Amino acid sequence: MRKLTHMLLAGTLVLACSSCGVETTANYQVIPLPQEVALSQESPFNLNAGTIIAYPENNELLKRNAKFLAEYISQSTGHTLQTEALAPGSEAPKGAITLGLDPAIRNREGYVLTVKADRVTLNGQTENGVFYGIQTLRKSIPAETKATSILLPAGSIQDEPRFSYRGMHLDVGRHFFPIEFIKKYIDLLALHNMNTFHWHLTEDQGWRIEIKKYPKLTEIGAWRDRTVIGRNTEEYDNTRYGGFYTQEQANEIVKYAEERYITVIPEVDLPGHMLAALAAYPEMGCTGGPYEVCPRWGVFEDVLCIGNEKSMQFLEDVMAEIIDIFPSKYIHIGGDEAPRTRWEKCPKCQARIRTEKLKSDKNHTAEDRLQSYCMTRIEKFLNSKGRRIIGWDEILEGDVAPNATVMSWRGSAGGIKAAQLGHDVIMTPNDYCYFDYYQSEDTRHEPFAIGGFVPLEKVYSLNPTASLTEEQAKHILGAQANLWTEYIPTSEQVEYMVLPRMAALAEVQWTQQEKKDYTNFTTRLAGLISLYRRDGLNYREPFRQQADSTATAVSYTHLRAHETSAHL
């Protein structure tokens, strides 16, 4: 222990004098906090420009992992480490960081990092686990150092995630973000040990994914002629806005994410939030239109006509192309915010209600059941192709599609109910996980946002299994934050809204509940923030609120974003 204190002190001294360029010490107290860190009395490992990163020959994934580690170390230290394949059966070489697999590690994404004076070994049950060990190692090194030696304290880290689903969502419908930024966003997920990118691809305000059988979805549906100014005022900017991803670009994103052990779950939101599709194919709405790619924000009465067999065929055709692009086990089919008003008056929808014998009862209308009919039909289609569906918690209103996983957004209640019914659940409660909400109550100094208030500490306090029995808790696959982009027009503003709240979420997703401690988290946050700063990310200064109470001048980069959105 004395030795540890000594080393930490030494690290601090060197950090204070980084231009001295001798040595600095790594600190394993990273975000998310590893489950077990045990330091030993041995001398530290000296990581320097001559350190080799070794991986087993014939393992392409570990070879790529080795390259990632080399790249991360280079970003922090400027040293370009060599990577080297190891012949089968050969021992971890001295002076090297050796990556490997160990089937005895119990969690698929778990890893064990062992640091000795003469070598470092990093094993995972799978390559995924090794990747998380690499993330821990990269975050334990100062984000920027000129030191020639990085001392890795001897000891071992045994780590594994609490939840198997660790996600971030991005709405590209309200505002469109270029493919380069989607890659940057995926890199941020990897940095925070997340493994799922929920790509919300269709909205009233824009359809963003090329579907070859329905070219008008992107020719017409990806573009709106105007956008409302502010929170649904009567003024518009009269500027054409839009964009979409080709299937080729989407494939590129899937591959980029996969290399970082991230699954892309696409969302095609149905049967509501479909105005962009209806503008392209008006015959699929109950009234036949005309429809406009929506220039306003909100929930709209014009939804897909479920009585029209052509609309159902359209959904299956779209899903057929979606599953060709996205290999994910889950496909998100939305289901949120679908008003029933058009269905009540539509002869086709009413005929469907009769032929399918959909009945109202004291809890649900026949039209609620019409939505369930639609979700269940698409679920059956996707199940027949070996996929499973996720739906927003509205799918609990009616007859829940039998194999659906429920994404709880209107608080946690829907998720709790779904878990009690035996459905799998992903927790994204708006009061903890809506990163489009303000980060401060002092909204004058924040970029214009939708409303709400979800500060860092609130995100951190989420326990996704709270108030569930042990049996029900097994249905909670994990947690995710959602970023709806009505009021987020630029990628800089996306960064501002997610950073550093993603850090708090990472610990909700990864670290065991009993190991979480907000005060301790805040002491560890500085290291991650220095990495954000190094990479030029537009994060929110986390503890600004207190400092603000006396400050009048605020010179943070986010004000750029504030200015760009001020006209909205």
| Positions that interact with ligand ACM (CB under 6 A) | 336-337, 392, 409
Minimum distance, C-beta of residue 99 to Zn ion, in the bound complex (Å): 56
List, as own/partner pairs, every contact residues 216-222 make where C-beta atoms lie below 8 angstroms and the sequence separation is at least 24, other chains included: 216/280, 216/281, 217/276, 217/277, 217/280, 217/281, 218/244, 219/280, 220/279, 220/280, 220/293, 221/276, 221/277, 221/279, 221/280, 221/293, 222/176, 222/276, 222/293
Minimum distance, C-beta of residue 440 to Zn ion, in the bound complex (Å): 44
Q: Is 286 in the site for Zn ion (CB under 5 A)?
A: yes
409 binds, among Zn ion, ligand ACM, none (CB under 5 to 8 A by kind): ligand ACM
217 binds, among Zn ion, ligand ACM, none (CB under 5 to 8 A by kind): none
Which residue, 110 or 173, is less far from ligand ACM as judged by CB?
173
Minimum distance, C-beta of residue 478 to ligand ACM, in the bound complex (Å): 17
β-pairing, 111-115 vs 241-242, is: unpaired
Burial of 552 (C-beta count, 10 Å sphere; 0-12/13-18/19+): exposed
Which residue, 286 or 502, is less far from Zn ion as judged by CB?
286
What is d(CA 258, CA 148) in angstroms, rounded to the nearest whole number?
33
346 binds, among ligand ACM, Zn ion, none (CB under 5 to 8 A by kind): Zn ion
Task: Mention every residue, 6+ apart, whose C-beta is less than 8 A from residue 490.
Answer: 175, 561, 564, 565
Minimum distance, C-beta of residue 528 to Zn ion, in the bound complex (Å): 50
C-alpha closest to that of 123 among 151, 103, 95: 103
Minimum distance, C-beta of residue 384 to Zn ion, in the bound complex (Å): 25
Among 91-99, 231-239, 301-309, 376-384, the segment contacting Zn ion (CB under 5 A) = 301-309
Minimum distance, C-beta of residue 293 to ligand ACM, in the bound complex (Å): 19
427 binds, among ligand ACM, Zn ion, none (CB under 5 to 8 A by kind): none
What is d(CA 91, CA 121) in angstroms, rounded to the nearest whole number?
11
**463 phi and psi, to 5 degrees?**
-115, 105
Which residue, 13 or 299, is less far from ligand ACM as judged by CB?
299
Which residue, 109 or 393, is less far from ligand ACM as judged by CB?
393
337 binds, among Zn ion, ligand ACM, none (CB under 5 to 8 A by kind): ligand ACM
Which residue, 252 or 337, is less far from ligand ACM as judged by CB?
337
**Which residues partner with 389 through β-bridges?**
331
The 10 Å Cβ neighbour count of residue 363 is 8
For residue 421, the number of C-alpha atoms closer than 13 Å in the C-beta half-sphere is: 21
Binding positions for Zn ion, 306-325, rule CB under 5 A: 307
The C-alpha torsion from 55 through 60 and 61 to 62, rounded to 10°, is 0
Binding positions for Zn ion, 341-360, rule CB under 5 A: 346, 348-349
Which residue, 189 or 349, is less far from Zn ion as judged by CB?
349
230: left (phi over 0), alpha (psi -120 to 50) or beta: left
The 10 Å Cβ neighbour count of residue 200 is 24
Among 114-122, 303-311, 427-435, 515-523, the segment contacting Zn ion (CB under 5 A) = 303-311
**Which of 209, 305, 433, 537 lies at the binding interface for Zn ion (CB under 5 A)?**
305
261 binds, among Zn ion, ligand ACM, none (CB under 5 to 8 A by kind): none
Minimum distance, C-beta of residue 397 to ligand ACM, in the bound complex (Å): 13
Interface with Zn ion: number of residues (CB under 5 A): 6
349 binds, among Zn ion, ligand ACM, none (CB under 5 to 8 A by kind): Zn ion
**152 phi and psi, to 5 degrees?**
-95, 115
* CA distances to 52, 135, 147, 223 from 79, in Å: 11, 17, 10, 46
348 binds, among Zn ion, ligand ACM, none (CB under 5 to 8 A by kind): Zn ion
β-pairing, 36-39 vs 155-159, is: antiparallel
344 binds, among ligand ACM, Zn ion, none (CB under 5 to 8 A by kind): none
What is d(CA 466, CA 428) in angstroms, rounded to the nearest whole number?
13
Which residue, 54 or 349, is less far from Zn ion as judged by CB?
349
**Positions that interact with Zn ion (CB under 5 A):** 286, 305, 307, 346, 348-349
